[in-house]
Structure 1
């Protein structure tokens, strides 16, 4: 069926189907970490690799799917990605030790990356830039809401049926959405608009972006903010449930509060930009993150072990992140305007690679308290402050040179 025969509502639905399982597979099982650690008889470092290796899979794949789909078409690459996504999801269900589970989580991430990358590319294939941006923004709001809902659903599934059924749910959802897209979603990139697959050309484009200082500054700031958030999220279930005495049935409410805060800030971004301006909102959100991190770092150690207090501070951190992280991301994309596709792939790859490494470090530092987690988050945000100040200085110097 040609894309012209489909209504905008149908296309939105099909693209949402592409995003749905990929949005949920990352964090639906996080509330089950304590039960998974006991079931696999493993430690905190290994159980957190269930998350970090999934990120690594997405990271590696994000460098491949975009250029490949430009050459052979979106639908072929999406079907390949979905096949790996389904295979990895089924593999997770039947994993009987932690090493096998980590391997299948990597495969699952490698496959799920196609959903996000190809889904967004299809929208830009089908619509002009302004309309495409509007549709992607709407879809992103829905996706962020799904991500916020996922841990609540995962906590309920784990409490009622056991952690394995989170993986069963994702496998079933992946098969269902993959089948819908395979049967209904047409190719969006005509043959005449495809580009030859040139490793040399792709490498040249990547180098062009990687040489840009503005790209690096905004990408690293985005990465450090996101890393602080994910370090907290990944350690939360292990510390709150196993060491601070929070009931596993209640814990998802703590986790979902952070995600809801991020969603509220993200979906309100457009309205707040009208009042504060882009740069004003960026500074306001970033300052909020810095202040909340500083507050967590300086409070007495015994206060750092108070679940409600530390969650409240991280909720405000999440509001700040939801406000400014999208603006920093957009600045990364705009740093080299003629290479936005390559920039998007590199931002995703760099961010997830560094987040995976930092989550692994947090597992190695794990001591059962929030103090080690807060110290690592503080290190990330301190680095982002240094990069922010250096980039502001670079920007002012560049403007001064232009004025001369």
Structure 2
């Protein structure tokens, strides 16, 4: 039951953005908004999420993760209700800010509970399965959101989020285990200085951020690339997006089986090898100015295949390396991942030229940085895999 609750909360966190994006055109029409004002409903949500993640992590360490998760969901529910009954644009913004604040708890702390309750090998197995299921949910969220928006309007997607949040709250109250509290923890931002005083912790945080942010950048800009530049219709775009999500989901779900056959070290090195293949393939696509959607999808799927084993191995190792402060480590990854993601999307969207070029370069640059940080972790003997 615990894994079901964590899955529900993670799906809520993972689909909170993707369900709402299809409603943007309707919001723009109903409230007579400029494109910037519509995008602001996304921006304030993510900024609130990123900043509150730092506080949520500290609160989780200090007062117990169960309580903070439940209170966070309540805040999310309040924000969602405000959005549903909003009759002015600024009420939508207020609701989205509260949603961003509230989603931080269920987005971060359930994975820390797994790290507290299970040994390392079991953590890796559970997290790979959850990542696969969450990715599938995120892949289908835009499609579901589009249909709900078509039949029930933009409020329908907020109502669905409300239902998911209420289910998560109900089962969370009943089945989430009580966790340890440490009242000596400093809940100020200064408390994070202890995390970043550790070179290995800092390397872990930024390595994982740079490893995964490229995938986020591609997903965020893929509608512009596929439908805007490559002329793909919305139905076929869903197929391409589904293929990439399916690849990531299947490799995550089968991650534990793959490791049991190949071993951690070999799986890890295969992941690095796939990254190198992806970088080479991306350079070829860019130099030859290839505009075949299926080729671009295939190339990015190679990146996805490489990312799965490495992240699923690294994240539990990082958490297990800290006896205390696990929530702060998780929160730090969330915050910096969002900041790096925003920087990449803003830069790429500004210089975008109707091709894969700058999207691919962005992913490659992030990946090269991640591999450099990974080499530093190996040099420090912070990663011990067999």
- TM band (smaller chain): 0.7 to 0.9
- Equivalent pair of 2:58/2:187 in contact (CA under 8 Å): no
TM-score (norm. length: structure 1): 0.78
- Aligned residue in 2 for 1:68: 59
- Aligned residue in 1 for 2:178: 188
Q: Which residue, out of 97, 101, 108, partners 1:110?
A: 101
Alpha-carbon RMSD across the aligned residues, in angstroms, is 3.7
Unaligned runs of 5+ residues in structure 1 are 1-8, 400-404
- Equivalent pair of 1:224/1:383 in contact (CA under 8 Å): yes
Q: Which residue, out of 210, 213, 227, partners 1:241?
A: 227
Unaligned runs of 5+ residues in structure 2 are none
- Equivalent pair of 1:221/1:387 in contact (CA under 8 Å): yes
- Aligned residue in 2 for 1:149: 140
- Aligned residue in 2 for 1:286: 272
Partner Cα separation in structure 2 for residue 33 and residue 254 of structure 1: 22
Aligned positions of 1:152-163 closer than 5 A: 152-158=143-149
Partner Cα separation in structure 1 for residue 27 and residue 243 of structure 2: 23
Q: Give 3-state SS (helix, strand or coil) of 1:245's partner.
A: coil
| Counterparts in 2 of 1:181 and 1:258: CA distance versus 1, 3 Å | same
- Equivalent pair of 1:218/1:331 in contact (CA under 8 Å): no
Partner Cα separation in structure 1 for residue 40 and residue 266 of structure 2: 37
Q: Give 3-state SS (helix, strand or coil) of 1:194's partner.
A: coil
| Counterparts in 2 of 1:342 and 1:146: CA distance versus 1, 3 Å | same
Q: Deviations over 1:142-177 (max 9, x none)?
A: 334323332332344345555553333223332343
Partner Cα separation in structure 2 for residue 308 and residue 17 of structure 1: 32
Partner Cα separation in structure 2 for residue 274 and residue 186 of structure 1: 30
Deviation of residue 136 (structure 1)?
Answer: 5.7
Task: Compare 265-274 and 208-217 and name the one that shifted more.
Answer: 208-217
- Equivalent pair of 1:332/1:347 in contact (CA under 8 Å): no
| Counterparts in 2 of 1:35 and 1:314: CA distance versus 1, 3 Å | farther
- Equivalent pair of 1:226/1:355 in contact (CA under 8 Å): no
- Aligned residue in 1 for 2:350: 364
Deviation of residue 69 (structure 1)?
Answer: 3.6
| Counterparts in 2 of 1:188 and 1:137: CA distance versus 1, 3 Å | farther
Partner Cα separation in structure 2 for residue 294 and residue 100 of structure 1: 47
Q: Give 3-state SS (helix, strand or coil) of 1:250's partner.
A: helix
Aligned positions of 1:62-101 closer than 5 A: 62-93=53-84
Aligned positions of 1:253-268 closer than 5 A: 253-268=239-254
Q: Deviations over 1:167-219 (max 9, x none)?
A: 3322333234334545x346624xxx532154289845x33331222223332
Deviation of residue 235 (structure 1)?
Answer: 0.6
Number of residue-to-residue matches in the alignment: 382
Deviation of residue 232 (structure 1)?
Answer: 0.6
Aligned positions of 1:313-328 closer than 5 A: 313-328=299-314
- Aligned residue in 2 for 1:4: none
Deviation of residue 292 (structure 1)?
Answer: 1.4
Partner Cα separation in structure 2 for residue 292 and residue 272 of structure 1: 20
Q: Which residue, out of 238, 241, 247, partners 1:252?
A: 238
| Counterparts in 2 of 1:270 and 1:344: CA distance versus 1, 3 Å | same
Matched, 1:353 2:339: yes
Partner Cα separation in structure 2 for residue 262 and residue 63 of structure 1: 28
- Equivalent pair of 1:19/1:143 in contact (CA under 8 Å): yes
Deviation of residue 233 (structure 1)?
Answer: 0.3
Partner Cα separation in structure 2 for residue 362 and residue 297 of structure 1: 17
- Equivalent pair of 1:148/1:263 in contact (CA under 8 Å): no
TM-score (norm. length: structure 2): 0.81
| Counterparts in 2 of 1:38 and 1:298: CA distance versus 1, 3 Å | farther
